[in-house]
Chains A and B, each alone.
Chain A
């Protein structure tokens, strides 16, 4: 009887004796939170690796999850504009509202590239605050890791030392990996690339690659036959090394161009779970670089 009473009490008062409950918008943030919090947290991702994070529905299941979150970790920069504001309003959870310590927007802690000078929807799906897809630059990820760790320490003081220690270990391992990746990716320097969407600007910035064109005629606008045929000419004139696309994107256009130009089309994980090997943050960058290096060799 006492047990039942206690259970109902916990159920209705929302007292949580449990782990720090983290709701993330994308799987890379769930992975990062897990590196820092290990078994002391419970991380949930609203999207998975085969899903386009721009277009998600504020589904009942997500409302149930976000209601119980202690911390919200999302990309920001308008990536989730079509669904997160509604989810937040439906959450009835004041801890994670904008401006609260339970609201962590990753892109607000790093410098964003590609800030549009003209904000006009005739330019496609433009993000006014800059390109949101920062997860492919491990240097930025390191910076976000530090900030996220600080936030987690602030919210869960009991485990602060644990988080701090894990972050230290993660970062030293991560920085070692960055050195390894940079060495490995030297062959990619200056390579000319055609990308599906503007998803790889931070990757190309980090590895000094040159993305010269996109399969999408404008950001967020699906590739058209007309635009693709123009790309054939661009590809031939510029000695393009590869065509890259994210695991969640329709591979049809990349394959079409590959067939006509013989330029290899490479599927990249984009986030955790995008490919089999991208099972954690290390795997994500490992696999991204491996897949590209493989075709230029």
Chain B
């Protein structure tokens, strides 16, 4: 091996000596040129590399410093399908268990004629009044709502149009026109559906005057005045076909006028005050037992005052809140009873006051006091007695309730109402109310 290397070395030496001086210089120059060439190439590469690195750095800095617009902007493509135009749908399921202290035959309040809708709830389990509501903006000018109620009526299911109305969205000057069947703006509670009430039964004065609630088949025009505080006024025209009016009329069966105002007191309190008036000319309104001798014909008017005050610490009503509610109604009727035109002058009034307190996020308790009284007059006293229109002072009732509200959509309630009189005994009501479907919004 060693011999081989030495030979090669010798050979190389000999050969190099053999080269001319000129050749050597040429080679040197060539190498130098090559070296330079590589150096420029390397520098070029180095600059490019530096540039690339800078760019990457810059980009990463950009990522860190400037909002990444493409990840936060909303996607423009939105899917749509035929269902997208379906109206909002909600089902209120109201079930009850009622227990009376003793058997009751029928609802009676001396001095008042009870409407056909008022009645005694059956004892035991029953499906209260469940309702299905559909609502939607019809187009850019109208909103529509339908509430179909399913009620138990002596073992049979009665389906009733509770509300079915349109409402304008784009009238000028803060005006809104509503038409169809709707709860009248008379009073405060009247416009709310039964499931939104704080007690299982309507206040006595509502039961006594309207059967339960005053519905209007007609038109309502209201105007939200451009004042800095809330001030709304409106008028209603109704057909006055049903209780507490009766009989066929031309356009002006019943008229309603109302004014509502309200505001806030600091962050925690708000209030609303309303005055309203209803009148109708009544023809042959059915009296006790449907006896034609007791049917009323004449003028009827109702004046109402309502006040609501709500308190919630800092306006956070989820954690704790208190509501105070008061309404007063007075009805005056002037006309005749029966076909023999016995004179009749009816004066009836009533009020209730209630306090409901959400004392823990899921628990609420309330107390209500009801008072109704009548003072009706006629020259024919015996007719008044027979028609059940002679009153013996005022009637009162106290109710207590406790609610458990595990979510916005479930409510379990237990309520005790004490005895009104011999005919209207004390009662316990256990009520569960579920709302399914679209998220409803409750009025103030």
Contact = CB atoms under 8 A, between A and B. Distances in A.
Given A51-B316, A220-B407, 7 more contacts: A57-B442, A58-B441, A59-B270, A64-B263, A86-B443, A94-B171, A99-B140
Which of B262, B318, B361 has most A Cβ within 10 Å? Answer: B318
Given A81-B439, A89-B169, A139-B67, A51 B314 contact: yes
Interface of B: 64-69, 71-75, 137, 140, 143, 167, 169-176, 222-224, 226-232, 260-264, 267, 270-272, 310, 314-319, 361-362, 407-409, 439, 441-444
B439 A64 contact: no
Interface in A134-148: 137-140, 142-143
16 contacts: A13-B173, A48-B267, A51-B315, A54-B318, A55-B318, A58-B442, A59-B444, A61-B262, A64-B263, A82-B441, A92-B223, A97-B170, A110-B74, A121-B409, A138-B67, A139-B72
Contacts of B137: 98
B174 A93 contact: yes
A120 B318 CA distance: 21
Nearest to A137: B72
Nearest to A82: B441
A60 B407 contact: no
Nearest to A221: B407
A109 interface: yes
Contact of B140 (A57, A82, A97, A250): A97
A11 interface: yes
B261 to A, nearest CB: 7
Q: Which of B167, B316, B443 has the most CB of A within 10 A?
A: B316
B263 A61 contact: yes
Contacts of B409: 121
Nearest to B435: A121
A61 B173 contact: no
Contacts of A48: 267, 314-315
A209 B80 CA distance: 35
Contacts of B270: 57, 59-61
- Which of B75, B224, B409 lies at the interface centre, i.e. has the most chain A CB atoms within 10 A of its CB? B224
Nearest to B143: A89
Nearest to A144: B72
Contacts of B272: 60
A63 B66 CA distance: 41
Given A57-B317, A92-B224, A222 B230 contact: no
Contact of B175 (A55, A81, A92, A99): A92
A221 B267 CA distance: 24
A81 B67 contact: no
B230 A64 contact: yes
Contact of B173 (A12, A51, A57, A112): A12
Interface centre among A51, A61, A121, A140 (most CB of B within 10 A): A61
Most buried by A among B230, B310, B409: B230
A89 B441 CA distance: 11
Interface in A62-100: 63-64, 67-68, 78, 81-86, 89-94, 97-99
Given A61-B270, A92-B174, A86 B441 contact: yes
Contact of A12 (B65, B75, B226, B317): B226
A191 interface: no
A3 interface: no
Nearest to B317: A55
Contact of A111 (B75, B224, B314, B318): B75
Contact of A81 (B71, B310, B441): B441
Contacts of B143: 89
Contacts of B262: 59-61
Nearest to A14: B226
Nearest to A140: B72
Which 10 pairs across A and B sit closest by C-beta, in order of nearness? Answer: A60-B262, A139-B67, A60-B230, A94-B170, A86-B441, A64-B230, A55-B318, A92-B174, A61-B264, A50-B314
Contacts of B71: 111
From A58, A67, A220, name the one whose CB has the most chain B CB atoms within 10 angstroms. Answer: A67
A173 interface: no
A13 B175 CA distance: 12
A63 B441 contact: no
A110 B70 CA distance: 10
Question: For this complex, into which size category does the number of interface residues on chain A fall?
Answer: 35 or more
Nearest to A87: B441
Contacts of B228: 64
A184 interface: no
A52 B318 contact: yes
B362 to A, nearest CB: 7
Nearest to A86: B441
A246 to B, nearest CB: 11
Contacts of B316: 50-52, 55, 248
Contacts of A110: 72-74
Contacts of A108: 74
Contacts of B407: 121, 220-221
A230 interface: no
Given A52-B318, A221-B407, A94 B169 contact: yes
A261 interface: no
A260 B163 CA distance: 54
A67 B169 contact: no
Interface in A11-56: 11-14, 47-48, 50-52, 54-56
A179 interface: yes
A57 B74 contact: no
B441 A67 contact: no
B139 to A, nearest CB: 11
A125 B439 CA distance: 11
Nearest to B171: A92
A85 B262 CA distance: 20
Given A12-B173, A81-B439, A222-B362, A67 B315 contact: no
- Max chain B CB contacts within 10 Å: which of A59, A93, A220, A221? A59
A81 B409 CA distance: 14
Nearest to A84: B441
Given A60-B230, A91-B224, A250 B319 contact: yes
A182 interface: yes
A56 B443 CA distance: 11
Nearest to B314: A50
B65 to A, nearest CB: 5
A25 to B, nearest CB: 13
Contacts of A68: 226
A151 to B, nearest CB: 15
A110 B189 CA distance: 41
B196 to A, nearest CB: 12
B275 to A, nearest CB: 14
